[in-house]
Structure 1
């Protein structure tokens, strides 16, 4: 199983979110519509879904830069609930790049402009050797 089965973006995962990220320079964005199957509390999107979306957006930034990374750290601030029926836009962009680390900030914003959640991620750049050790193939 490859990237097609990714929980957030994979086309072939029957339980996935099926989010399609768009590239805008070094930044990425996508839209997501919260459905009842995404809830934690009644009518409120589960925080794990919110976290997964922010993490995936953060991972797409280095991927589009030609880097293979894993999330080393993800700090999330939940600002306001995402409710069933709401559509949010996720955006992510790099803030700092070193040889071994890429810092990425992401946000989820409602179609009315309300910030729902933000994150700061540390994406660890994997060497070819480390990719092989982890059994990770570079994205094609």
Structure 2
């Protein structure tokens, strides 16, 4: 079942990663998977790097969106990325369906998260880790 993000119904919601009304965005939708959050995605040629290959920055964005939204859904407040490290393990192809799964560790004053991007066979093609600063409101 698709998760509704706290700001999804706001008229000014134009997030490049997850707003369904942003014509240039990815319109990612998220589902809870136990204590994890996941999204499935297929990227078209608008986000291409080498011919037929998804630009690495787009893959990093998808990981960040999935991890950050997990933090928001668990804590009920906005989370800003303070640092992120991305590993590219395989080729992510245009027009192929992938899955990103995020997990977070919540400790006093710090949120650490990780994400994996898996191909249709479940093989790892990318991963990211990040730290998040939690803000007071969704503003």
4+ long deviations beyond 2 Å: none
Match of residue 13 from structure 1: 22
* Backbone CA RMSD of aligned residues: 1.4
SS of equivalent residue, structure 2 residue 93: coil
Q: Which 5+ residue runs of structure 2 have no aligned equivalent?
A: 1-10
Match of residue 78 from structure 1: 88
Matched, 1:109 2:118: yes
SS of equivalent residue, structure 1 residue 5: coil
C-alpha change, 1:67 and 1:25, in structure 2 (3 Å) is: farther
Matches of 1:7 and 1:98, distance apart in 2: 29
Cα distance, 1:30 vs structure 2: 0.8
Contact residue 99 and residue 125 of structure 1 kept, 8 A: no
Matched, 1:52 2:73: no
Match of 1:34 among 33, 39, 43: 43
Structure 1 or 2: more helix by fraction: 1
> TM-score by structure 2 length?
0.85
Matches of 1:36 and 1:125, distance apart in 2: 34
Number of aligned residue pairs: give it.
128
Matches of 2:82 and 2:52, distance apart in 1: 31
Cα distance, 1:34 vs structure 2: 2.1
> TM-score by structure 1 length?
0.85
